[in-house]
Amino acid sequence: VAETQADAQKAAKSIKIQYQDLPAIITIQVPGLDLLHVGGQEHFYLETNVTLAVPRDQDEIEIFSSTQSPSQTQSCVARVLGIPSNRVDVRVKRVGGGFGGKVSRSNIVSNVVALAAHRRPVRCMLDRDEDMLVTGGRHPFCAKYKVGFSESGQVLALDVTYYSNAGNSMDGSILVAHEAVVHMENSYLVPNIRGRCIVCRTHLPSNTAFRGFGTPQTMLVCEDWISAIALKLGRAPEQIRELNLYSEGDRTPYNQVLEGVTLRRCWDECLDRAKIHERRAQIQDFNRQNRWIKQGLAVVPTKFGIAFKELFLNQAGALVHIYTDGSVLLAHGGTEIGQGLHTKMIQVLSPQVKIHVCETSTHSVANSSPTGASMSSDLNGAAVRNTCEILNQRLQPYKDRDPQGNWESWVKAAYFDRVNLSANGFYRAPELDYDSKTNSGRMFHYFAYGVCCSEVEIDCLTGAHKTLSSTIVMDVGNSLNPAIDIGQVEGAFMQGVGLFTLEQLLYSPDGVLLTRGPGTYKIPGVGDIPTQLQVYLLRDAPNDKALYCSKAVGEPPLCLATSVFFALKDAIATSRLEVGLSGPFQLDSPATAERIRMACADRFTKMCPVAEPGTYKPWAVVV
């Protein structure tokens, strides 16, 4: 164990490991097969994985970790050290971003640090390149589909197969595959449907949970076949999308009846606020007048199911202490990763001035679920509300006895009367009873809906693009905190823009990640934000399934970034018309400048033909 971080890094670099050279399987793409490819993505949280382990008496150990799942870290450390979980206290004050990357992969650091912490504290924080090398990211997908439709554009049947690059271990890949398949139709009613996802093992670091959990990949594939239908029928894609939208009372492929469907409200409001018909006409005029600069537009909806697939994870606990001066201490099982969870929990308790949220600790709230699946506010907020109900019931006699009193006087009166001023709250999401064998029951607690209209401009000679405007209408129910929710919508959308247009993972032919760090891995910057980014929260859309009629907001908006991707494809299609190419063409994700430029297909691209696979050894493999 090194005395300083610098010594540890120096020692690590001096270690040389000799491996026998074996063929490395890096990508699941097969040359010659007509598969749509959606690339992987790095989490790129601001704070890399870090853990401090402090040994205590009687085989106890404290773990300060940047984890999204304290209970999972507790269990892993206990197994590594050979001690029961009650000797391990995992503590998390706040985390510098997670996006799913610190649910299970943070244990890579925690386990090693805990093992090294013999009679002395040990801390380890990964550098950015180390973190990117070992932790994995979003699963790259390949897909093929067959879709049947009527002359009017009504979708009649769909058969889709996904291939998921899991990396070298399973991690959460089966769950990602499940979420991909159950979201394969996105927001559209498809009466006859079949979907499957094949999880592929490769020699990459194990891919893991990532915001959206398989749905962004599958929704891009979905919007691709919608666009293909529109092209075949010679109609605008938004017409096909609107025609096939889900309505109230429709059934999903897994036989869940849709309730409180606000898709068409979101759709109509988005089209109205974006002035889509005016913009379409203006774009057509612009494109007629410009040969090498083209504009495009796309409108895309999303339907996102809210619940953990594993039934047992749909639970949460909370602990509230009231002190004799009237101050309140709150502990809950969620972790604050920058999403404003603590702020919302304080709002549930209210008034804010008297409340302090302590760190998340496995000794305070045991057996907590991971912070993920957009469920943290729903689950933990309901548990906090349960503690409020318990404590209010205990204090009610003192309020009745002294109606002119205040909070402090009621608390003191209860204390002197030997009333317990601490309470444990608990909540479990009801009605989740899906049975895969009979394809019946309720898979999701409810659904979040949204629609986005995006307009882009491309330079056909360089492949560069910019997003001119994005108008988002999101159904978040009765928002607990509109400022936080709008921020979540904006952040998720931009992370999706990175996934679909910018972020590209390149590996060496031997399987070493080349794009590890901000110098080689491009995430969205200020210049990538739409010139006009407008977010509207749908009004008068209460959701009786969640806390105070609110809705989850962390993940659903990310899928709306497909609107930018298909706006780019719309602009490329206009450019191709200039050279007489009107048929379908494939654009893989991310839509990088290189891919946009080559897709524009003019006399210049003919001078630079793409080499046939197998005729050369690539310097890098796109994953």
Q: Total structural domains in the chain?
A: 3
Claim to verify: residue 269 and residue 210 sit in the same structural domain: yes
Average pLDDT score over residue span 110-117: 98
Of 428, 450, 484, the residue at which a domain comes to its end is 428
Give Cα separations from 248 to 1, 167, 262, 305 (angstroms): 61, 40, 8, 15
Q: Is residue 56 part of a domain?
A: yes
* Lowest-confidence region among 76-80, 135-139, 386-390, 507-511: 507-511
User: Strand order in 293-306's β-sheet?
Assistant: 293-306, 446-459, 465-475, 532-537
Of 103, 134, 165, the residue at which a domain comes to its end is 134
Q: Is residue 23 part of a domain?
A: no
Place of tokens 């085989």: 59
Identify any residues that bridge with 424 across adjacent strands, giving them in sequence order: 319
Nearest to 562 by CA among 254, 210, 187: 187
Q: Is residue 10 part of a domain?
A: no
- As a whole number of angstroms, the distance between CA 613 and CA 619 comes to 13
Claim to verify: residue 277 and residue 156 sit in the same structural domain: yes
Confidence band of 5 (pLDDT split at 50, 70, 90): confident
Claim to verify: residue 531 and residue 404 sit in the same structural domain: no
Claim to verify: residue 550 and residue 417 sit in the same structural domain: no
Claim to verify: residue 492 and residue 445 sit in the same structural domain: yes
Claim to verify: residue 593 and residue 446 sit in the same structural domain: yes
Confidence band of 346 (pLDDT split at 50, 70, 90): very high
Gyration radius from the chain CA atoms: 26
Q: Is residue 152 part of a domain?
A: yes
At residue 352, does pLDDT exceed 70? no
Q: What is the rounded average pLDDT for all residues in the chain?
A: 96
Query: Which of these is catalytic: 269, 336, 457, 555?
Result: 555
- What is the separation of C-alpha 440 from the centre of its chain, rounded to a whole number of angstroms? 26
Claim to verify: residue 259 and residue 362 sit in the same structural domain: no
Phi, psi angle pair for 560, to nearest 5°: -70, -15
- What pLDDT does 463 receive? 98
- What pLDDT does 353 receive? 67
At residue 351, does pLDDT exceed 80? no
Indicate the pairing of strand 446-459 with strand 532-537.
Answer: unpaired
Claim to verify: residue 116 and residue 217 sit in the same structural domain: no
Domain holding 104: CATH number?
Answer: 3.30.365.10
Claim to verify: residue 188 and residue 162 sit in the same structural domain: yes
Give the pLDDT confidence of 210-240 residue by residue, as tens digits. 999 999 999 999 999 999 999 999 999 999 9
490 assigned to active site? no
Indicate the pairing of strand 155-167 with strand 192-201.
Answer: parallel
At residue 161, does pLDDT exceed 90? yes
Of 375, 405, 428, the residue at which a domain comes to its end is 428
Claim to verify: residue 331 and residue 275 sit in the same structural domain: no
pTM over 0.85: yes
* Furthest-apart CA atoms within the chain: distance in Å: 89
DSSP assigned state of 53: E
- As a whole number of angstroms, the distance between CA 61 and CA 99 comes to 27
Give Cα separations from 81 to 47, 62, 69, 109 (angstroms): 26, 13, 19, 14
One-letter amino acid of 537: L
Domain that holds residue 394: 315-428
Polymer length of the chain? 623
User: Which helix (DSSP H) or strand (DSSP E) does residue 165 occupy?
Assistant: strand 155-167
